[in-house]
Amino acid sequence: MSEKKGNVYRPDDLESLVWEWGTQQFVKGENFSLGVTVITPGQEHAKHNHPGVEEMFYVVSGKLGVNFYYDDGEKESFEAPAGSWVHIPTGVKHDGKCISVEPAKFLVIYSPAGPETDQLRNVPESTILEPGEKPEYTAD
């Protein structure tokens, strides 16, 4: 029987997804996935949801405007500055916009592992950079 082994992933070990609005890097575990997302100032991640996937993120830097859209037509809007935790229940539609002068950088957890590690790689609006390649704009 083989023993499971841990791993350390450094930024240069991972591919990056580059979007018009920012960048993402992800790693996938057995029961969850974890990523770092950066949205550039004034840019917005369009309304979407993750069917069957719960999402939570921690804002590391910058400030996000976050909207939740419910099936009954209700919309809730929040500001999430650095240090905020944001919980998005399974299937809830949401979007996010960087509302600070610096990029909004946040750590995202999906459980179970979400579509970002599989489906997003095939979305035509994104560009995949190989490990070690740097996007033109990052929050580093």
Confidence of residue 118 (pLDDT cuts 50, 70, 90): low
Query: Cα 56 vs. chain centroid, distance in angstroms?
Result: 9
All domains in the chain, ordered by first residue: 13-129 (2.60.120.10)
CA atoms of 53 and 64, how far apart (whole Å): 21
pLDDT tens, position by position, 68-113: 999 999 999 999 999 999 999 999 999 999 999 999 999 999 999 8
- Average predicted confidence (pLDDT) for the chain: 88
Q: For residue 22, list its beta bridge partners.
A: 39
For residue 47, give both structure tokens: 């309304």
- In sequence order, the 6+-apart residues with CB closer than 8 A to the CB of 134 are none
Stated as kind and residue range, the H or E segment containing 65 is strand 63-69
Top mean pLDDT of 45-54, 74-83, 113-122 is at 74-83
CA atoms of 4 and 136, how far apart (whole Å): 37
Residue 117 is predicted with a pLDDT of 61
Query: Cα 33 vs. chain centroid, distance in angstroms?
Result: 10
Percent of the chain at pLDDT exceeding 90: 54
Residue 13 is predicted with a pLDDT of 92
